[in-house]
Amino acid sequence: MAILNSFSLEGKVALVTGASYGIGFAIATAYAEAGATIVFNDIKQELVDKGIAAYKEKGIEAHGYVCDVTNEEAVNAFVKKVEEEVGVIDILVNNAGIIKRVPMLEMSAEAFRQVIDVDLNAPFIVSKAVIPGMIKKGHGKIINICSMMSELGRETVSAYAAAKGGLKMLTRNIASEYGEYNIQCNGIGPGYIATPQTAPLREIQPDGSRHPFDQFIIAKTPAARWGVAEDLQGPAVFLASDASDFVNGHVLYVDGGILAYIGKQPQ
Ligand code: NAP
Ligand code: GCO
């Protein structure tokens, strides 16, 4: 039974960025079930309020704050406020993210920068704000939500792939630089997960057929299905718990096997 206790998050304060819904919400609810106190942020008060209500429906008293993770001054003030009002952050999940699906030659430099800002610069900013408290406490867990695009490219996602590839290396660098303070920094690389972010890739076509990309992903995934946010909960609890204290700089792909598979031969 002792081994199960090593997965407990009792007494821990967990910050999950961008967790009003989607993957972040699923990870935060699992953390609450494992005993953690949940802190989350969103850009808009309206979404923070909706998030608090959604957590409450699950019996979770989450602490919600408005904060744009790309704004370093706002993030520093946000983390300071959390430390005063809730406690020093033990677990950080850099989950907030955006994607812009545009052919590279049609993408403006500004649009490219916006994706890099949220998906790569922000995890740097938030991690930098949280690590000093972790060092003082003598422990910390940082989980960066990477992507299959940390390993692979595809048409129209140049900015996103560049950001998520960089996030994989930022994960390794935080592990390298702060491992001696008992801080573990790892990544989770979800496969294709059914959330609002991927809804356009799953739209039913005018003739009632499945979106071509939807059919493509089903053929490319050994599990022959899209993932759901709940598929990420167990891996996320593992990486946030004492059970992973000697796992550092690793990206755990939770993708139904898609990265290992050449894809089903067309019939
Ligand atoms: P989502 O449904 O689009 O949710 C993204 C969340 O991030 C939203 O709550 C959004 O808030 C928030 N956010 C965006 N920009 C922000 C900012 N500047 N400051 C604060 N919050 C911000 O995405 P998801 O599918 O849950 O994905 C969550 C993470 O997993 C992302 O990093 C994504 O890249 C990654 N991921 C997703 C998949 C997938 O298939 N879904 C696969 C691999 C990796 P607003 O609603 O206010 O914009
Ligand atoms: C896309 C998808 C993917 C997923 C995820 C895969 O347009 O290809 O949005 O990028 O979001 O990152 O791991």
Measured in Å, residue 17 CA sits from the centre of ligand 1 at 9
Q: By percentage, how much of the chain surpasses pLDDT 70? A: 100
Bridge partners of 187? 144, 251
Give the pLDDT of residue 255: 97
Give the pLDDT of residue 2: 85
Q: Is the CB of 256 under 6 A from ligand 2?
A: no
Catalytic: 160? Answer: yes
Q: What is the pTM of this model?
A: 0.97
Confidence category of residue 68, pLDDT binned at 50, 70, 90: very high
For residue 125, the ligand closest to its alpha carbon is 1
Give the pLDDT of residue 266: 82
Mean pLDDT of 238-242: 98
Higher pLDDT, 106 or 223: 106
Which amino acid, one-letter code, is at 143? I
Mean pLDDT of 202-224: 94
Q: Which residue's CA is minimally distant from atom 48 of ligand 1? A: 43
Give the pLDDT of residue 267: 83
Q: Are the C-beta atoms of residues 21 and 64 closer than 8 Å to each other?
A: no
Probe residue for ligand 2, chosen from 23, 160, 232, 259 as the CB with the greatest number of ligand atoms within 8 Å: 160
